[in-house]
Structure 1
Amino acid sequence: MTTTTLETLALDDRITGSLIGAAVGDALGGPVEGYTPEQIVERHGGRIHGIVGPWHGDRWRTARPIAPYHKGDGHITDDTLMTHALIRVYTAVRDHLDAYAVADHLVPDLISKPRWIPELEAEALPLQRIFLAEKWLVSRLHYGHNDPREAGVGNIVNCGAAMYMAPVGLVNAAHPTAAYAEAVDIAGAHQSSYGREAAGVFAAAVSAACAPDATPTTVVDAALSLAKDGTQAAIESVAEAAARHTDFEAALVPLRAAIAPFDTVGPDYRTPSMGARRPSRLHSIEELPIALGMLLVNGGDYSRTVLSSVNYGRDCDSIATMAGAMAGALNGASAVPEEWAKRVAEASRIDLHEPAAALTAVTREIYALDVERRRAHEAAFARLTDPR
């Protein structure tokens, strides 16, 4: 099904679709993260068409390389944990965010309040689940007292900051330029180089997906209009390959070939190359361009886009998170299969609607503040340019 614009979806519908769509994509991709499409087919007897169990079955607590995380059975991963944490920052600040908000609000949230962590099947501090690239935030900001705007320098360059930037795009719905600028500022506390760039471009893509007449093509165009350096080149390469396909099976190899020259990790995802995750103006994270490519291949259809991202393998939970956020914003909450959303909410012991409702309320408040600030600027500028 190709996205249509017969009616304009309301803001709350797009925000709900984006956030639930991202969480469901995350949960679908978690159990096959790090594997190749061929390994996924061998393990599951074909392509994945819904929620599946852990790769190692009941041995998930001890089997390497995933232990001790229960990935599968509808459990969200750190992508969604971080996304919801950023929403809590917005609900605390109730205005646009910057790198200082990360230091003042996000880091304390990660280290001070235990929450149910589905992959650990226990209450724990989010810090105890998040990846080392996200623990960097705590090390640099809480312990190191670094300037938040520069704290991301020195961290590995990966999709860590980009994976949870959907709320920034939603707060700046239909204003990709503003989403990009805000996300780049926020991500400065976490990432540098093309990791930070991807955070800005992903936020812009989500913002563009909220526009009344948005299509997969307009989303990619918005991303390309703002992307810099290797990120822009990678999206161009993947989009060109995606334009030749309408079936993800046929697109899997071409999309990987299109991103390969820009991907520092290399062909073996679990054995990264010597140049992996180092700053560069020539490279890009893999996840965002592939998510955009899958959006194009599948005409924006939520289920097909997310399942294609899952079956791509490699870092497919983050790819499906990003793809789900964009496809959910394009199509609204009804596009996310209710069965999937219900199972993810129950398995993860989380209310998927509450963060969406909270962010919608904050988004409206921030827009009202933006209008007030804009009117004040207009009045001041009018006085400055009055010929009298």
Structure 2
Amino acid sequence: MGAAVGDALGGPVEGYTPEQIAERHGGRVRGVVGPWHGDEWRTARPIAPYHKGDGHVTDDTLMTHALIRVYTRVRDHLDAYAVADHLVPDLMSAPRWIPELEAEALPLQRVFLAEKWIVARLHYGHNDPREAGVGNIVNCGAAMYMAPVGLVNAAHPAAAYAEALDVAGAHQSSYGREAAGVFAAAVAAACLPGATETSVVDAALSLAKDGTRAAVEAVAEVAVRHTDFESALAPLRAAVAPFDTVGPDYRAPSLGARRPSRLHSIEELPIALGMLLVGAGDFRRTVLGAVNYGRDCDSIATMAGAVAGALHGEAAVPPLWSKQVAEASRLDLHAPATALAEVAREVFARDAQRRRAHESAFAQLTGAR
């Protein structure tokens, strides 16, 4: 629910700067707003033909729900082969209500080219699922829907990190894949009893590698100096800029954008964690900070909302927002969460059995008493 609400709030202002957002809306966005171009959303570029706004979720939520459906079929941990065997058929063969298109369509017809890559590489190209992400543009496409991996591995960040890296290997490589692992770990860490926004970021840093770790660390160092997102917007952007390959013009990425690198990071995850610190873990403050940051703010708010939701549960999500998003998007936001919770309990029980079997075998192997 937290991820979906963040996604819907960020969608209509995606791609713009904080200054442009404030000018368009007469100040900062404080809740659900309409399309950037009003009633001309069907034809106005570069948004057309998507109805972003009015509480509509975007492909971030569509992909999150698709991954949940995979978990409900497999009812165990996932790997890259689960993407090929279950996620790809779901995207290309089962029509669903697409809020931004205001019609039923195949999810494949809505998702971005980086997600269409999964179908091209796995269904048509028959590539090894574990390596299919190599060659795709490196962006937040895999990370944006990894919250379910964190919840299935609730309270076990290292396990969430490892599983997300495996799943995301079918979709992304380099720092895009790394971000998927770190985001899942952050969600899992948020489920730990007594977790705080600081402990979540610490857990992420303990697992993150290369440019992703450096970017999260740099953003976190700046974020802890702020308690209001208004003052944090420019400093957080400056902190992540050296690691972000897209460059200052979000709609015209630099030549080095989205290429593999050990020195760089996607922008969305560090900023989401930074806003979590600025907002002291409060859902409303965290998500509004992510939304008003602009740029890829639907994905930033998706991640920020997922982690804040995992920290505090459904009660943290403003009921008005969740109601508006559910009704506007024609989605039951409780059903996927309930289904995933059932799977998480089953997987935990199975993990416990597997662990006991391992302990027994190891005791026999070593002669332990």
TM-score range, shorter chain: over 0.9
Instruction: For 1:101 and 1:77, locate their aligned partners in 2 and report how far apart those are by CA, in whole Å.
Output: 23
Per-residue CA distance 1:188-211 (angstroms, 9 max, x = gap): 000000000000000000000000
Deviation at 1:23, TM superposition (A): 0.1
Question: Mapping of 1:1-388 within 5 angstroms?
Answer: 20-386=1-367
Instruction: For 2:256 and 2:49, locate their aligned partners in 1 and report how far apart those are by CA, in whole Å.
Output: 28
| 3-state SS of 1:368 partner | helix
- Give 1:375's aligned amino acid: R
Deviation at 1:387, TM superposition (A): 6.2
Instruction: For 1:162 and 1:172, locate their aligned partners in 2 and report how far apart those are by CA, in whole Å.
Output: 16
Per-residue CA distance 1:353-377 (angstroms, 9 max, x = gap): 0000000000000000000000000
Aligned to 1:15: none
Instruction: For 2:94 and 2:301, locate their aligned partners in 1 and report how far apart those are by CA, in whole Å.
Output: 28
- Give 1:39's aligned amino acid: Q
- Give 1:215's aligned amino acid: T
Instruction: For 1:308 and 1:122, locate their aligned partners in 2 and report how far apart those are by CA, in whole Å.
Output: 31
Give structure 1 regions of 4+ aligned residues with deviation exceeding 3 angstroms.
none
CA RMSD of aligned residues (A): 0.7
| 3-state SS of 1:116 partner | strand
Q: 1:192 to 1:387 in 2, by over 3 A?
A: closer
Instruction: For 2:141 and 2:368, locate their aligned partners in 1 and report how far apart those are by CA, in whole Å.
Output: 51
Q: TM-score, normalised by structure 2?
A: 0.99
Instruction: For 1:176 and 1:193, locate their aligned partners in 2 and report how far apart those are by CA, in whole Å.
Output: 20
Per-residue CA distance 1:37-73 (angstroms, 9 max, x = gap): 0000110000000000000000001100011000000
Instruction: For 2:75 and 2:230, locate their aligned partners in 1 and report how far apart those are by CA, in whole Å.
Output: 43
Instruction: For 1:113 and 1:291, locate their aligned partners in 2 and report how far apart those are by CA, in whole Å.
Output: 32
- Give 1:274's aligned amino acid: L
Q: TM-score, normalised by structure 1?
A: 0.95
**How many pairs are equivalent?**
369
Instruction: For 2:114 and 2:368, locate their aligned partners in 1 and report how far apart those are by CA, in whole Å.
Output: 55
Note the residue ranges of structure 1 that are not aligned, 5 or more in a row: 1-19
Note the residue ranges of structure 2 that are not aligned, 5 or more in a row: none
Instruction: For 1:314 and 1:257, locate their aligned partners in 2 and report how far apart those are by CA, in whole Å.
Output: 13
Instruction: For 1:317 and 1:156, locate their aligned partners in 2 and report how far apart those are by CA, in whole Å.
Output: 19
Instruction: For 2:161 and 2:189, locate their aligned partners in 1 and report how far apart those are by CA, in whole Å.
Output: 11
Higher relative contact order (CA 8 A, sep 6+): 1
Deviation at 1:247, TM superposition (A): 1.1
Instruction: For 2:192 and 2:161, locate their aligned partners in 1 and report how far apart those are by CA, in whole Å.
Output: 15
Deviation at 1:253, TM superposition (A): 0.7
Instruction: For 2:151 and 2:269, locate their aligned partners in 1 and report how far apart those are by CA, in whole Å.
Output: 17
Instruction: For 2:285 and 2:228, locate their aligned partners in 1 and report how far apart those are by CA, in whole Å.
Output: 9
Q: 1:139 to 1:387 in 2, by over 3 A?
A: closer
Deviation at 1:243, TM superposition (A): 1.1
- Give 2:295's aligned amino acid: R
